[in-house]
């Protein structure tokens, strides 16, 4: 089981592949007869995991369940080395069921087949997704998040902040962004206001972080009290 090589990960780490356990997890949840207010998906490691997650969604997503899909499969114009054509199809199947997706620019291009942000976002909306949030678009010295929803397109920007040695990309910010977004929307905040607040939250956390290695992530915990 390998992780994306371009992320310059730590030299060593421990891992356990739980793919084969997913059917048991789904079965156990079935016995509990739960109702999920929201389901959020992120990075997955193999085609089999996509199939299991799709089964989970088909089983547990109800009309009032918010499904947010973060289609983690590439960045900087390239698909991650670990991604196969089957996995890319899995991402597309997940997105087709989503209420909200949060692709970066690379992922939007893969999903929509469009190089232009506006055309790509509109194409995904026209496919039936309620809201499309395109994250981390670098323009000049700013990072922009585009929101397509309710027939409206809005952008929310913040200053591009770079670590001492490794550019403007920080490990984990996409996960924080999608989790923040999900939590806010489940608490009645509009997708536009949720993206605005998430953008500000992450910007504050980055500015307060002493980041020498992008893999260390950002110090977001002190800002949880202001959410």
Residues 153-166: pLDDT tens digits?
Answer: 999 998 877 644 44
Q: Can you tell me the mean pLDDT for 9-34?
A: 89
Mean pLDDT across the chain, nearest whole number? 88
pLDDT at residue number 215? 63
In a domain, 15, yes or no: no
CB neighbour burial string for 95-133, b if at least 16 within 10 angstroms, e if fewer: bebbbbbbbbbbbbbbbbeeeebeebbbbbbeeebebbb
- The pTM assigned to this predicted structure is 0.87
Residue 224 pLDDT? 78
Q: How many domains does the chain have?
A: 1
Interval 59-71 mean pLDDT: 97
Residue 87 has pLDDT above 90, yes or no: yes
pLDDT at 6: 43
| Residue 12 counted as domain residue | no
Query: Is residue 7 in some structural domain?
Result: no
Residue at 77 is within a domain: yes
Residue 154 lies in a domain: yes
Range of the domain at 142: 22-226
CATH number of residue 111's parent domain:
3.40.1190.20
**Residue at 50 is within a domain:** yes
Q: Is the pLDDT of residue 212 over 50?
A: yes
């Amino acid at each position: 089981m390998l992780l994306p090589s371009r992320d310059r990960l730590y030299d060593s780490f421990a891992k356990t592949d739980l793919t084969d356990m997913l059917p048991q997890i789904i079965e156990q949840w079935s016995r509990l007869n739960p109702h999920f207010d929201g389901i959020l998906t992120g990075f997955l490691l193999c085609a089999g995991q996509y199939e299991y997650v799709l089964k989970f969604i088909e089983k547990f997503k109800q009309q009032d369940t918010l499904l947010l899909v973060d289609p983690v499969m590439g960045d900087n114009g390239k698909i991650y080395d670990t991604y196969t054509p089957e996995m890319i199809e899995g991402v597309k199947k997940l997105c087709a069921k989503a209420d909200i997706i949060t692709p970066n620019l690379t992922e939007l291009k893969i999903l929509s087949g469009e190089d232009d942000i506006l055309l790509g976002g509109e194409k995904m909306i026209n496919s039936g997704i309620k809201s499309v949030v395109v994250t981390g678009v670098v323009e000049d010295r700013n990072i922009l998040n585009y929101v397509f929803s309710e027939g409206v397109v809005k952008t929310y920007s913040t200053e591009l902040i770079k670590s001492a040695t490794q550019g403007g990309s920080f490990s984990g910010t996409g996960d924080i962004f999608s989790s923040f977004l999900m939590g806010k929307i489940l608490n009645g905040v509009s997708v536009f206001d949720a993206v605005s607040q998430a953008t500000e939250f992450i910007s504050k956390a980055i500015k307060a972080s002493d980041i020498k290695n992008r893999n260390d992530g950002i110090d977001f915990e002190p800002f949880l009290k202001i959410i």
